[in-house]
Structure 1
Amino acid sequence: MPFAPHLAHLSWKSMLLLFAYSYLAALLLWVALHLLYGDRWWWLFLLTALAFYLFLPALLLPPLALVTRHPPLWVGFGLAAAVWLGLFGRLYLPHSAPVLANDTTLTVLTYNALYHNTEVERMVAAIRASDADLVAIQELSEAGLHAIQAELSTRYPYQILAPAENTAGMGLLSRYPLTPLPPSEFALLPLSGWVGQPQLATLDYHGRQVLVLNIHAHSTSLGYGGPLRFSPAEMEQSVRQREAQMHALAAFARSRSEPLLMLGDFNTGYPSHAHRILSAAMQDAWLVAGHGVGHTFPGANIPGSSRPTVLGMPIPQWLIRLDYIFYSAHWHATHAEIGVWDQRSDHRPVQAVLVLR
């Protein structure tokens, strides 16, 4: 009997240590699988999509080390912290401004406006508030087209608008001369599988020809606003198709010598394998000049939104980052931020300030 309290104390200590070491083993196993296999399996894809949240239990390790008086847990915490810093640390560090000979900036915006959003005046207000020089729109509707032409033609005299009666609509708006390129320029890009067919154009930026590519990549359906559901086979197929698209975009980037911008809804999170493929050829403006995780999805829970529900309740907002601004080595990003949200789209816009070297 005198030993019962001591045995009970050891039992709780053992349980806490079991939890701590099980978590560390699972976290390090995910890191190894992510590095070796990318998003090969549906469950690994989901874990990586929510990678930021996998590190939250690590915050319990220091108090557990103190409570259990088990110093090795500090080593485990250090390992978890090192991995987190490698993936996300730069997003919380101050960015040093580069010394550039050219101080002329180009502000660009990417914006999935949600096809089902009927309050297009909110979309117009969000674009106007950005004061961007170049705007890439995904899911452009006919109503959105008419609103843009009526309200933004003076601000953006150069427009390439391709609305659709579904989520395939695309659009480019510019203060600088914008010229669409013929289909022959798309030779390296797959012609199918995109939510919206990519738009490729040249931008006459102070006498230099800049390539602009507006992207809406293949999506992974988790319910499209209804109950959360998924098919492992369909999910893995969508991941493979999106990775093929990123390989094509990376090959396209390497084949061009002009300054290049890729903007859009890439339907992949960070640090996904698809992101790794494209970022090997292009710079992600948010990683260079953004602050915080920059999550852009899911947003509004209105009819037609892609924000799924669980037990009748919509999942939390802003869980992952799907919207990106990528640029070639000709540019440098000095600032990136989340744009004004219209309260209706299931995405938030992203904008960046770029300087041509």
Structure 2
Amino acid sequence: MIAQVPKAGVGNAAGRMLVRGLGRALRALAMLYCLGLVILAALWLAGIQGIGLLDLANIFALYLFAPLVLIAPLAWLVRARWLRAAAVLALLAGVALFGPLLIPPSVRTTSGAPLRVATVNLHYELAAAQLPGLLGVIRAQRADVVLLQELSPSAADLIRRELSADYPHQALEPSTSFDGLGVLSRYAIETLPHTEPLAAQLLRVRMPAADVMLMNVSLASPEVKRRRLPLVGWVPGMRYDVGKRSRDIDRLLREVAALDGPLVIAGDFNMSDRERDYQRMAARLHDTYRETNWGLGATFPNRPPFPLIRIDYVWGSGPAVPAATQVICGGASDHCMLVADMQVGAT
């Protein structure tokens, strides 16, 4: 009589083989993920830019590293030496990329006339019922000047009615699209002509102690376009195009070079602080948030659970230097507000 292997034993053996195979596959995927992060970090740290998808991934680099929170401890629980090594390398790459953001800047002692600047994108599609709450957030900051982007006609009308007592000097240029701009000021202002074609306002603010030039900016958004791939055809989302914005920044920097004295530039730049265009700006101007604060400083989108990237900025030039900054995420706009305390005529 021939003995038969119990079916349960065969099933258990097959199950164990399946689990082991799945475990090996997951470890291999985790190791490839960690090594991929290391390669990306090396490219970014080497300053390699201008490759569309690489640049787009760089904007959200921090979130690409988020799974390491789970993978790194699990690597120590499994007997996989290579996975542990890959996880350590990925963690070191993350520290190299983002560690400097966690270091508070050194305290700078300056003297000059104080000027509080607030910038906020109003999101021109806001319903009329949402605007009063947003204006309340603006008023609560007690800023000396407020720079507005995406200013709609209905928002401009409400501002004239509700904020004229707080801000008697106004330069409002509303629009039914994304390009409406406005400036509110406690001090007298003078609108000035541009030397370059820019979607911006240029004004002189006449403070009691000194005049300061003010530029309110709304730059072109990058475009995520399709690209034709060999043997595949047109594939959407394969091309990250910042050409329009880069040309805007060319014009902006030329105009800045032609201006003398203290200058504050603020607005919606549609640019993260991990892009080449940001580096061009930071090489010429004071990034008020980065020079006075630590952390991401993310301003967009103003939605739960938290903003993801920083695209709203206040910059200083010449004897207009930052003393403090804060990000305010109240109101119904899709952007958080950035408030910067400046010292004008600082020494």
TM-score range, shorter chain: 0.7 to 0.9
Instruction: Rate the CA distance shift 1:86–1:324 in 2: closer, same or farther, 3 A.
Output: farther
Instruction: Rate the CA distance shift 1:73–1:99 in 2: closer, same or farther, 3 A.
Output: farther
The count of aligned residue pairs is 321
SS of alignment partner, residue 236 of structure 1: strand
Asked if the contact 1:61–1:73 (Cα under 8 Å) also holds between the matched residues in 2, the reply is no
Instruction: Rate the CA distance shift 1:295–1:6 in 2: closer, same or farther, 3 A.
Output: same
Matches within 5 A, 1:207-356: 207-220=209-222, 231-232=236-237, 236-237=240-241, 239-299=242-302, 318-343=307-332, 345-356=333-344
Aligned equivalent of 2:107: 97
Specify which of 134, 138, 146 is matched with residue 145 of structure 2.
Answer: 134
Aligned equivalent of 1:109: 118
Which consecutive unaligned segments of at least 5 residues does structure 1 have?
A: 192-196, 223-229, 301-314
SS of alignment partner, residue 56 of structure 1: coil
Aligned equivalent of 2:229: none
Identity value in percent? 29
TM-score (norm 2): 0.80
Asked if the contact 2:200–2:217 (Cα under 8 Å) also holds between the matched residues in 1, the reply is yes
Instruction: Rate the CA distance shift 1:332–1:16 in 2: closer, same or farther, 3 A.
Output: farther
Which consecutive unaligned segments of at least 5 residues does structure 2 have?
A: 1-8, 225-234
* Cα shift at 1:74: 5.8
Asked if the contact 2:148–2:267 (Cα under 8 Å) also holds between the matched residues in 1, the reply is yes
Asked if the contact 1:214–1:262 (Cα under 8 Å) also holds between the matched residues in 2, the reply is yes
- The 2-side partners of 1:332 and 1:87 are apart by 26
The one-letter code sitting in structure 1 at the alignment partner of 2:117 is V
The one-letter code sitting in structure 1 at the alignment partner of 2:116 is T
Instruction: Rate the CA distance shift 1:87–1:180 in 2: closer, same or farther, 3 A.
Output: farther
- The 1-side partners of 2:343 and 2:90 are apart by 36
Asked if the contact 2:41–2:97 (Cα under 8 Å) also holds between the matched residues in 1, the reply is no
Specify which of 52, 55, 64 is matched with residue 54 of structure 1.
Answer: 64
- The 1-side partners of 2:40 and 2:110 are apart by 40
Specify which of 112, 118, 121 is matched with residue 132 of structure 2.
Answer: 121
The one-letter code sitting in structure 2 at the alignment partner of 1:245 is D
Asked if the contact 2:300–2:311 (Cα under 8 Å) also holds between the matched residues in 1, the reply is yes
- The 1-side partners of 2:80 and 2:95 are apart by 24
The one-letter code sitting in structure 1 at the alignment partner of 2:295 is G
Instruction: Rate the CA distance shift 1:14–1:251 in 2: closer, same or farther, 3 A.
Output: farther
Asked if the contact 1:106–1:353 (Cα under 8 Å) also holds between the matched residues in 2, the reply is yes
Deviates more, 1:315-324 or 1:173-182: 315-324
SS of alignment partner, residue 139 of structure 2: helix
The one-letter code sitting in structure 2 at the alignment partner of 1:203 is V
- The 2-side partners of 1:259 and 1:122 are apart by 33
1:243-269, Cα deviation, whole Å (9 max, x unpaired): 222233233334433222111111122
Aligned equivalent of 1:304: none
Aligned equivalent of 2:205: 203
- The 1-side partners of 2:177 and 2:99 are apart by 39
Asked if the contact 1:263–1:324 (Cα under 8 Å) also holds between the matched residues in 2, the reply is yes
1:118-176, Cα deviation, whole Å (9 max, x unpaired): 23212321210111111110011112112211121221122111111222110011122
- The 1-side partners of 2:283 and 2:56 are apart by 22
- The 2-side partners of 1:21 and 1:206 are apart by 62
Asked if the contact 1:262–1:327 (Cα under 8 Å) also holds between the matched residues in 2, the reply is yes
1:218-275, Cα deviation, whole Å (9 max, x unpaired): 11467xxxxxxx9547x634x1111222233233334433222111111122312222
SS of alignment partner, residue 161 of structure 1: strand
- The 1-side partners of 2:306 and 2:329 are apart by 15
Name the Cα RMSD after superposition.
Answer: 3.2
1:197-228, Cα deviation, whole Å (9 max, x unpaired): 21011122343332211111111467xxxxxx
SS of alignment partner, residue 214 of structure 2: strand
Specify which of 148, 169, 184 is matched with residue 180 of structure 2.
Answer: 169
1:287-325, Cα deviation, whole Å (9 max, x unpaired): 22234322222236xxxxxxxxxxxxxx97622222111
**Structure having the larger proportion of residues in strand:** 2
Matches within 5 A, 1:53-72: 53-69=63-79
SS of alignment partner, residue 319 of structure 1: coil
* Cα shift at 1:65: 3.6
* Cα shift at 1:347: 1.3
- The 2-side partners of 1:151 and 1:326 are apart by 28
Matched, 1:148 2:159: yes
The one-letter code sitting in structure 2 at the alignment partner of 1:290 is N
- The 2-side partners of 1:255 and 1:87 are apart by 35
Asked if the contact 1:253–1:282 (Cα under 8 Å) also holds between the matched residues in 2, the reply is no
Task: Flag the structure with larger Rg.
Answer: 2
